[in-house]
């Protein structure tokens, strides 16, 4: 029978081995906890370089600028109505005209686009507020549908470059090409060239003091994982984030929930903005001039406690979505529809 002392001697190496294994497990666990707490969401294992996002107040210094008279289409119609003595119509249209509305850049002319930008920027500087621009001139725009058009393929990046030079230093917010990414889901011919082109546009927009958001579609268009993948390929890691619901009608709570899911899927905490120009009555069964739609809540910058930076009027209320449901051509003023939006507006 072995002595007790000999038994202890034979057992000691095993005990030391388990002790070291236990210590190693503690160290690994501590390291995992540190990584989870310290690294931004979405970057733990990818190693992606993600831009530092601004706060809402940094993204929209001074708040939202109103459009100058030359660019404010509802404002022009309000003035015409007053000149005609139709004060009732003028008062209703003023409900739209008096709010900050984004300025869409759709003209393929480089010189005219630059002039529009300068006018809007000068007006915003006088107000000490932030102008919001929408680039909407991508080749094969709207996949040939109601808003078809855009530049030639070899003219797009020079057009973007020229627009950026006119905006540089203005601290403007730029929404890049509504539908340009989400539409790939139903227009497969866009799949090969569209995302690399948007990424090149991001290259042009970067480094000029601008705040940029890319097309995030809406809650009912593209599976979240697919949209996240496309946005990463388009360069969302290098910009402030993405926008949702542009020219659409989904409620804020629905779109915000979708945008948070999309941001989580992208990783790195991208921020987002939501178009609320016509969502006062929520989804009405179609995206194209639906009956019964109403103005959404007043556009404003948030307090910055979440990833939602602002609720914007991106689509100009009163402009047609296209020749559907009795509307005129896309982008044309449709007064009866505008008055309906005012009548059905969301009451804050």
The catalytic residue positions are 142, 179, 321
Phi and psi at residue 174, in whole multiples of 5°? Answer: -125, 120
User: Any long-range contacts for 43-47 (C-beta under 8 Å, 24+ apart)?
Assistant: 43/267, 43/268, 46/267
Nearest to 302 by CA among 60, 33, 25: 60
Nearest to 213 by CA among 249, 253, 246: 246
Tokens at 286, concatenated: 């179609």
> What count of other Cβ atoms lies within 10 Å of the Cβ of residue 149?
16
Tokens at 232, concatenated: 């990463």
* Secondary structure of 41-92 in HEC code, one letter for each residue: CCCCCCCCCCCCCCCHHHHCCCCECCCCHHHCHHHHHHHHHHHCCCHHHHHH
**SS3 at position 306:** coil
Burial class (CB in 10 A: 0-12, 13-18, 19+), 189: exposed
**SS3 at position 205:** helix
């Amino acid at each position: 029978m072995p002595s007790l002392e000999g038994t202890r001697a034979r057992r000691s190496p095993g005990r030391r081995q388990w002790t070291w294994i236990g210590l190693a497990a503690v160290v690994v666990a501590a390291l995992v906890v540190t990584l989870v707490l310290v690294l931004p969401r979405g970057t733990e294992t990818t190693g992606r370089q993600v831009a530092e996002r601004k706060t809402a107040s940094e993204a929209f210094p001074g708040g939202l600028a109103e459009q100058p008279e030359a660019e404010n289409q509802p404002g022009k119609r309000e003035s015409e109505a007053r000149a005609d003595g139709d004060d009732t119509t003028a008062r209703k249209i003023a409900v739209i005209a008096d709010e900050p509305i984004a300025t869409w850049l759709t003209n393929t002319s480089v010189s005219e686009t630059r002039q529009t930008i300068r006018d809007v920027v000068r007006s915003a500087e006088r107000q000490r507020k932030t102008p919001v621009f929408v680039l909407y001139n991508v080749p094969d725009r709207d996949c040939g549908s109601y808003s078809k058009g855009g530049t030639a393929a070899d003219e797009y990046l020079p057009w973007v470059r020229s627009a950026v030079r006119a905006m540089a230093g203005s601290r403007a917010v730029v929404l890049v090409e509504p539908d340009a990414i989400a539409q790939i889901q139903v227009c497969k011919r866009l799949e090969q060239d569209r995302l690399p082109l948007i990424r090149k546009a991001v290259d042009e927009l970067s480094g000029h003091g601008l705040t940029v958001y890319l097309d995030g579609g809406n809650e009912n268009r593209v599976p979240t994982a697919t949209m996240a993948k496309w946005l990463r390929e388009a360069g969302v890691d290098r910009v402030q984030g993405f926008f949702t619901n542009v020219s659409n009608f989904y409620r804020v709570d629905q779109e915000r929930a979708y945008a948070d899911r999309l941001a989580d899927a992208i990783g790195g905490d991208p921020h987002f903005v939501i178009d609320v120009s016509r969502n006062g009555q929520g989804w009405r069964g179609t995206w194209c001039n639906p009956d019964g739609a109403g103005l959404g809540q007043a556009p404003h910058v948030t307090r910055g406690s979440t990833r939602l930076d602002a609720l914007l009027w991106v689509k100009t209320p009163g402009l047609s979505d296209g020749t559907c449901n009795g509307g005129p051509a896309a982008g044309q003023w449709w007064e009866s529809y505008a008055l309906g939006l005012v009548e059905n507006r969301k009451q804050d």
